[in-house]
């Protein structure tokens, strides 16, 4: 990954952390089991399935008035390359 580029996983995790308290609704809306969602959000799953990350990314991207996870990463100026 290029420097300054943040992985989708890292940005999805950040979005989940910002949405704490809404995880059950996100789980219901995405079809991702609540237990899986919480493990991803808390970093207990270091390498989740691509389909899980994609579903969460799409969920956050579809929220009106909400930045996509990639927009959030750019706005924060994060330069993390680990995920």
* pTM assigned to the model: 0.71
Contact 12, 69 (CB under 8 A): yes
CA dist., res. 81 & res. 83, Å (int): 7
What's residue 63's pLDDT? Answer: 85
What's residue 69's pLDDT? Answer: 53
Q: Digits of tens for pLDDT over the chain (83 positions)?
A: 455 557 889 999 999 999 999 999 999 999 999 999 999 999 999 899 999 999 999 999 998 665 555 555 455 554 444 43
CA atoms within 13 A on the CB side of 36: 16
Which element (helix H / strand E) includes 7?
none
């Amino acid at each position: 990954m290029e420097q300054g580029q943040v992985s989708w996983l890292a940005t999805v995790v950040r979005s989940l952390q910002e949405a704490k308290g809404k995880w059950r609704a996100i789980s219901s809306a995405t079809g991702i089991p609540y237990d899986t969602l919480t493990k991803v959000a808390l970093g207990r799953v270091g390498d989740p399935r691509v389909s899980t990350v994609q579903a969460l990314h799409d969920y956050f991207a579809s929220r009106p008035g909400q930045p996509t996870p990639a927009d959030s990463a750019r706005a924060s100026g994060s330069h993390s390359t680990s995920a």
